[in-house]
Chain A
Amino acid sequence: MCQDAPLTGSPERAARRLEEIRASRRTVLTAAASGLAFSSALGAAAPADAASPRTRKRCYVLVTDGCRPDEIEPTLTPNLHALREGGMWWPRATSMPVMETIPNHVMMMTGVRPDRSGVPANSFYDRELGEIRDMDQPSDIRVKTIIERLNKRGFTTGTVLSKEYLVGVFGERATHRWEPELYIPVSGHAPDLLTYNALTSMVDEFDPHLVFVNLGDIDRVGHTDFTGTNLRLLRQAALLDTDLLVGRFIDGLKSSGAWEHSMVIVLADHSMDWSIPTNVITLQGAMDEDPLLAGNVVIADNGGADLVYWTGPKGKLDKAVKRIQQIAEATPGVLKAWDRRTPWLRLGPESGDVVVFCQAGWRFSDPNPITNNPIPGNHGHPATRSIPFFIGGGHPAVKAGKVFSAHARTVDVAPTVAKFFGMRTPKKRYDGKPRI
């Protein structure tokens, strides 16, 4: 779930952000010709070619947030479909647990799984603070991102992220950053038209080698589409609009000649699933009724996944994990409750002790069954793991019209970008694989 983003933009928030930017010695604020403001690392507010490695290569990672792979089709999304058909396509691509926005964006840029990056979910229980919070702090990412690695080699980078928690978690890593100050009420994101303007403006103004873009409309409208779990009329309208903007961006690359040197990676961070109002799971009550667990369990709700934390004595952890699993799996709508230490999950201690996934068509609302998660569209559970993943572009590294059976994942983006720019494999290897 993504609802933990601010529901409204606020002048106070904007003022605080500006204050933070001004206070930073490493950041300068640039007003572009479009009227949009960009934050840039000190000394970097100039086009890339001035002080960067001599290459015309450009890479754009466009995240169509929450897009399902079956939504890429000729009628609804003709531009995305054409980009897919003309480039390299991995039909078996998936998001990685937990199938949420922040961890998968972090996996894209770090190339490593959450047990290494430290970012397993959107919402988690911060044991030090003793509270549930979003993973939206720059220090939440414990490893170097491809953004920083490129910067270190003299390349320039940009982030154009429509969601505030993404702006937060990636912080000041990129050379140039667009940081929207106002968000659409309820959905809590900057609209794609604004994001698109920021992207084109950043490319015109700074032309970074890598731009990492999150287009949030498809996801945000999907979350709140109350036209029905199946019709999804608003969602379809968002798909049409976002597709149009992507098409415009590609046309712009082609008309400027940049296309021949560009690689455009298009993927989603997760898919989307819709639940009906009666299919809501709340585990907190059942945990509180258990003698062992009462008062010793905290749940971080992530829409399609609940992260359950044991806060009781360490010596009773194993017993508590089993009890949590039993209670969760006996609850209607629960697909599976995993011991977080299960090797394949690779989530790390930040994700708690038990990770509970719901079935398709259900959602979690913890701890309060009414107020915590009222929206129909959710992700985080296995029913939302499939994603579109394709690479277009005119650069020779992009093989036209190739389809691959390999299992591409969000974690593959960083190694792919690294290979494109000729970077060496880091000492601590990527968990992902380059796809070019």
Chain B
Amino acid sequence: MTSTKTTPTTPTTAPPASSSLPRRTVLATGAAGAAAVGVLGTGVRAADAEESGQTGAAGRGRAGHEVFQHGVASGDPLPRRVVIWTRVTPTPSATPGSGKGKPVTVTWQVAKDARFKKIVRKGRFRTSAGRDHTVKLDAKGLKPGREYHYRFIALGQKSPVGRLRTAPRKRAALDNLRFGVVSCSNLEAGFFTPYRALAARQDLHAILHLGDYLYEYPTGGYGMGQDNVVVRPHDPPHEMVSLEDYRRRHASYKLDPDLQALHARYSWILTWDDHEVTNDQWKAGAENHDESEGDYKKRRARAHRAYDEWMPVRMDGTAALGDGTRFYRRMRFGQLAEVSMLDLRTYRDEQAALPGVDATVSDPSRSITGKKQMAWLKESLTRGDHAPQWKVIGNPVMIAPVTFGDLPNDLIDPINDVTGILPADGAPYNVDQWDGYTADRREVLGHIRDHQVKDVLFVTGDIHSGWACELPLDTSTQPLYGDSYGVEFVCSSVTSNNLKDITGAPQLTPLVETAILANNRHIKYLDFDNHGYSVLDITPERAQMDWYVIGARDDANTPIEWSTSYETIAGTGRVTAVDAPVEA
């Protein structure tokens, strides 16, 4: 998402990193689910520590320091294999991005049980400073639709225990599929309370992260609220540009206990948006990149390399590094659903310049997907007779059109005043979204219409707000005829600033929300002011999204509450409100 970059300042508030410790304590006692997970933070379960001969709470063993301080993670579940990940710190000086430290051979194990009495797969993995001592591999030969435990062993220490779940077999008939849904997690803007809440749940199958997993800005460049309050400082303190920078930034996020807990508890399915490289990136540049920062494509290559090293994902279909960066990919969950994750940054043309957007946004020669990915996306939607029912599209930026056609000037002006992103003529509202590439959107929705594809569900992040939308081809006639070729559910940000944070004037938000809803009848729900997470529950009958919101982002113990729920009944392309969230 477009973010306002400011000059780095001294952090206004910087709670010490150790503030996370009492929070974990609170979680362990206050959230039964979290306690059951037993892998919060870098802590090692007492039984595991005892079993492995680790000494003391820190469990440092013969290495004398924590080898697995960045936790464990898994991702991209397939029926018989899942990516598992960790990072070893062989010596205290072998810090992320340092290039220091000797090669290490790491043992990995996947077991049916948490105590690893029933190990089903194991192996050894050689890592080194050349890959920043990260360990990433495909754990293969697993059984479909099963939950497993996994861990790593190196230098006399055992990692925290993670849990993964394989996808069901191809033709499995599932009663439901349930994802935690998150996006836009800015470490400097607050604690990752939504991650904590999701880690405490026991009812999810995986986590969908829709982009902006981390942010590139220097400390104080994009903090909490108008004053850019730094709740927790980034490392490195400057904007990430070099490979070392990207590695260190990834590492700093991976130290967060809530993030570690959620990675350990569930397998993640991620895509990236812009901030994994830099703000408003497109295929040959970015808003937050200039010549002083060197060649843009080289910078992006460094960012992608660090991402591949540090994230539990497959690029070009493999867990290996350096064999390609194609990130759009599909994961199937029986007959019920297939998740197609998009990459809407690497191949897109440059965003239209404001305010002269009218002609550019609809230029058919411009693309947000790129030609190959567009063909791939269309194939995802029409994959023959045996494709799954729900076509879930992991979509980094909103696809629902948002127009201000007949909005009176006395409403446009205040919206423009507060957001600074509206053109005065009231055409599209955010040219960084699909609204800035309308030919591509028309091609996708037209493809859905031409093939009468049902149950297309876009799940989106980026915009730091919650939305539930129908997807018409013609917004002017949709209220009368009700044509809709899918639905879009948008989760809010984990911590990144939203409207009230930007304006500092929450009283204006209802005005903006009312104006948008009134002029876009296909948009059924909009919450511009809350942070949190969502839970997406899919059954053969319907798909339901629950929105949960948190209180103060800088309060480690902030309350979490259900906000609202919307569903789409199979075959309808319509969105309706639901009275209650799914039971956890």
Contact = CB atoms under 8 A, between A and B. Distances in A.
Contact of B451 (A230, A383, A409): A383
B480 A92 contact: no
B389 A92 contact: yes
Interface centre among A91, A382, A407 (most CB of B within 10 A): A91
Given A385-B452, A403-B541, A405-B335, A230 B389 contact: no
B325 interface: no
A208 interface: no
Interface in B153-188: 173-174
A241 to B, nearest CB: 22
Contact of B173 (A271, A381, A384, A406): A406
Interface stretch (B208-216, B496-504, B570-578): B570-578
B571 A91 contact: yes
B334 A405 contact: yes
A344 B446 CA distance: 23
B173 A405 contact: yes
Interface stretch (B83-91, B362-370, B380-388, B434-442): B380-388
Contacts of B451: 382-383, 385
A405 B172 CA distance: 10
A195 interface: no
A91 B571 CA distance: 6
B481 A382 contact: no
A19 interface: no
Contacts of B174: 405
A69 B335 CA distance: 20
Contacts of A385: 451-452
Interface in B369-411: 384-390
A382 B173 contact: no
A404 B386 contact: no
A343 B249 CA distance: 51
A359 interface: yes
B336 interface: yes
Given A230-B480, A404-B173, A406-B173, A91 B389 contact: yes
A403 B480 contact: no
B570 A403 contact: yes
A70 B477 contact: no
Contacts of A384: 452
B179 to A, nearest CB: 16
Contacts of B539: 403
Interface string A403-420: 111110100000000000
Contacts of B541: 89, 91, 403
Interface in A379-414: 381-386, 403-407, 409
Nearest to A336: B450
Contacts of A335: 450
B45 interface: no
B477 A230 contact: yes
A360 interface: yes
B336 A407 contact: no
A92 B455 CA distance: 8
Contacts of A73: 572
A69 B389 CA distance: 14
Contact of B540 (A94, A344, A382, A403): A403
Nearest to A96: B385
Nearest to A73: B572
Given A70-B572, A91-B571, A404-B173, A409 B454 contact: no
B524 interface: no
B449 interface: yes
B385 A409 contact: yes
A405 B389 contact: yes
A261 B469 CA distance: 44
Given A91-B570, A92-B455, A405-B174, A344 B384 contact: yes
Given A70-B571, A386-B571, A405 B454 contact: no
B123 to A, nearest CB: 35
Interface in B462-483: 477, 480-481, 483
B73 to A, nearest CB: 29
Given A91-B455, A344-B385, A383-B450, 11 more contacts: A91-B540, A92-B454, A230-B480, A382-B450, A384-B452, A386-B452, A386-B454, A403-B541, A403-B570, A405-B388, A405-B390
21 contacts: A70-B571, A70-B572, A70-B573, A73-B572, A91-B454, A94-B385, A271-B452, A335-B450, A359-B446, A360-B446, A360-B452, A382-B452, A383-B450, A383-B451, A384-B452, A385-B451, A386-B571, A405-B540, A406-B335, A407-B387, A407-B389
Interface of B: 173-174, 334-336, 384-390, 446, 449-452, 454-455, 477, 480-481, 483, 539-541, 570-573
A-B complex: 10 closest residue pairs judged by Cβ atoms = A91-B570, A405-B389, A403-B541, A403-B540, A230-B481, A405-B335, A405-B540, A360-B449, A382-B451, A91-B571
Interface of A: 69-70, 73, 89, 91-92, 94, 230-231, 271, 335, 344, 359-361, 381-386, 403-407, 409
